[in-house]
Structure 1
């Protein structure tokens, strides 16, 4: 992981790309794993977001994400970033309206909420489900042509198997977690028959809301892929009280989403294994805090 740029270096980088920023307007946002993010204001009064890739692999994916944004912009009823500058060293776009539904404190890794975590507003649940349903019903050819990862249903299961084996080897896990993962893999009822377009990281911090809790924008498409529809629900719902999964699934089905018989169990297994997924991401993105959290969670016996 590269060292974060200083405010002075960020200002100079922006200037090289034609952004004339107000000195003193730069406000860092250090919550992102993949990009160093800063808020700033240009001298003509427009608020902008600056994103500097933290690792070479993220820089290499910038063009892919830009192409995907062009595809999804016409699919969704909410705004997505309009990248006016996109190079290997800087992405910048006018700031979207709204504020994240939840924001993570870097020091404590705790979330501060702008909506009710226990009982999120009906409008938030409805729009979240509609966004997922629209993405999952979209033709995948155009999305696949952008260069995002594409996994067939068989590939989805192979990917989980590979991650399970890697976690056992590099993080460690109680035998009950290994056995639970193998049972999940072997149960055909719990895996999708088709792959769909996914945002890939639909947690509350990537949903922008207004004062009523309505979703007005959707950020950070770096992890988009074609894959398991159940995966989308993991980050979208696990930060809320578990009872809200049923609300989201009901709304998802009303908007045309395919609620196949094993979907809920698929999501519940995904939520259970979320610490493992985050731990592996922590290994890849040099985030030792998440690796240690995964090691602690997986060292204890699985609840079932």
Structure 2
């Protein structure tokens, strides 16, 4: 059963002795967590998160350690945005712990508002590139996974095989994706630190700048295309060049000639992963949503091939 905002407020006061909680409201969390925003007597807002499962608890432990390492890079200026700063924690009766940090600043990114030029689109490109320039030790030291290029391609192929076994993916898409995954030259990339779950809810902006990036539990050493896929697929086409130009200027020693092509492919494969999520958990609404998006992609692909 989800924890109430009042229960989470009590955990926050246990985590931060002296915290005088005056109000609490539920907060949406894209992960497997209960979350609330607690306001203290001084008007300071705090976010408290508690895992709903042992798996989420383990991910939260790794994320907490990673955030401590990332703070060093925020303070040095290597990361041009803030990340949550864990201030305290409280044990949970079932094991694991809840963590508390000052509420982050900014509003979720509205991708559709991106415009070409030196504004937010370029700032997004620089922000993503700064993550990919981090030393891999920040991931290794937190016990998070690391993959080489061939292993990662094999993971993608295994996911596609599982999606194909559902019988729900259009055959034309399967053929195109299989061909791309079998093209070894497309998958010659240097693995880097990636956020792993970037999206509008994790990228907070204010006054045309990226101010905070949250949700680091899926961080790993892997394909840089993972962090670019959502932008290249969802951003207005006229803004994509500004994102990628700023990204490439910020990266050092980048020789990945197929990065953009692979990012677009990863964006398409995300639909198969969404379908698998629905099938694995018996979520009919998710399955229906995935099938609608797959049908739209198949139609758009066919139209592009006919032009």
TM-score range, shorter chain: 0.7 to 0.9
Gapped regions of structure 2 (runs ≥ 5) = 303-307
Gapped regions of structure 1 (runs ≥ 5) = 102-112
Q: 1:283: how far off? A: 5.5
Aligned positions of 1:1-304 closer than 5 A: 3-18=1-16, 20-23=19-22, 25-73=23-71, 74=73, 75-86=78-89, 88-101=96-109, 113=110, 117-119=113-115, 122-170=118-166, 172-210=168-206, 212-256=207-251, 258=254, 260-282=256-278, 289-298=285-294, 302=298, 303-304=301-302
Task: Quote the RMSD (CA, aligned, Å).
Answer: 2.5
Change (3 A) 1:55 1:244: farther
Q: 1:170: how far off? A: 4.3
**Whose Rg is larger?**
2
The TM-score, its normalising length taken from structure 1, stands at: 0.84
Q: Which moved more, 1:117-126 or 1:82-91?
A: 117-126
1:121-175 superposed Cα distances (whole Å, 9 cap, x missing partner): 7332222212222222222134222111111101110110111122223473122
Change (3 A) 1:241 1:48: same
Q: How many residues align?
A: 288
Residue in 2 that maps onto 1:105: none
Question: For 2:117 and 2:210, how far apart are their aligned partners in 1?
Answer: 10
Question: For 2:213 and 2:289, how far apart are their aligned partners in 1?
Answer: 27
Secondary structure (helix, strand or coil) at the match of 2:257 reads coil
Question: For 2:86 and 2:117, how far apart are their aligned partners in 1?
Answer: 30
More helix by share: 2
Question: For 1:224 and 1:67, how far apart are their aligned partners in 2?
Answer: 12
